[in-house]
Amino acid sequence: MSGPWAPDAPGVLRLPSGRTIRGRGLRRPLPDGDTPDFAVYLLGRQPPEVAWQSRWLPWPDFRLPRDRELARQLFAELWERAAHERVEVACEGGRGRTGTALACVAVLDGCPPEEAVAFVRAGYDRHAVETPWQRRYVRNFPVLPHASSPREAD
């Protein structure tokens, strides 16, 4: 385990709490520098092997996650681990699915759901979250019940 991302590293989104998470497109080369400690890959097919711990969330391009409960669990894990580790989320292009996931993690971090897409577009990629149903998914994204809610932690 290493520390969180530098806020100015390529593709890094700084969440309202100050936690950092990297988004990227797998079609592009891996950025120089630090590698993730943990990643979630949003693909319609099994992702390639990587040297760090990772999980696969089946998610066809331009659609929504096939398993919404697994998505909630993995986004919560990304949020939790971002406090102390370098975490990333990625799809093929790094915009639609990745932007949607980043916006959901921002909601878990305390960003109002109706502002999360704009937050990710301003801090990560202006084209993030590509479809109307992805925007609706973020607006309706539920916060997982915890003993201590992510919004109250830290």
* Both structure tokens of 99: 């932007």
Gap between the Cα atoms of 97 and 135, Å rounded: 11
* Average pLDDT of the chain to the nearest whole number: 91
Whether 44 is covered by a domain: the verdict is yes
Q: Do residues 41 and 57 make contact, with C-beta atoms less than 8 angstroms apart?
A: yes
Q: What is the pLDDT of residues 36-67, one digit of tens each?
A: 999 999 999 999 899 999 999 999 998 999 99
Q: What is the CATH number of the domain that holds 24?
A: 3.90.190.10
Q: Which residues contact 143 (CB under 8 A, 6 or more apart)?
A: 107, 108, 149, 150, 151
Domain that holds residue 34: 12-139
Whether 82 is covered by a domain: the verdict is yes
User: Helix 96-108 vs helix 132-139: angle between axes, to the nearest 10 degrees?
Assistant: 10
- Alpha-carbon dihedral sign for residues 134, 65, 146, 80: negative
3-class SS shares of the chain: helix, strand, coil, % to 5: 30, 15, 55
Split into its structural domains, the chain has a count of: 1
Whether 149 is covered by a domain: the verdict is no
Task: Report the percent of the chain where pLDDT is more than 70.
Answer: 92
| pLDDT > 80? residue 146 | no
Whether 3 is covered by a domain: the verdict is no
pTM over the 0.85 mark: yes
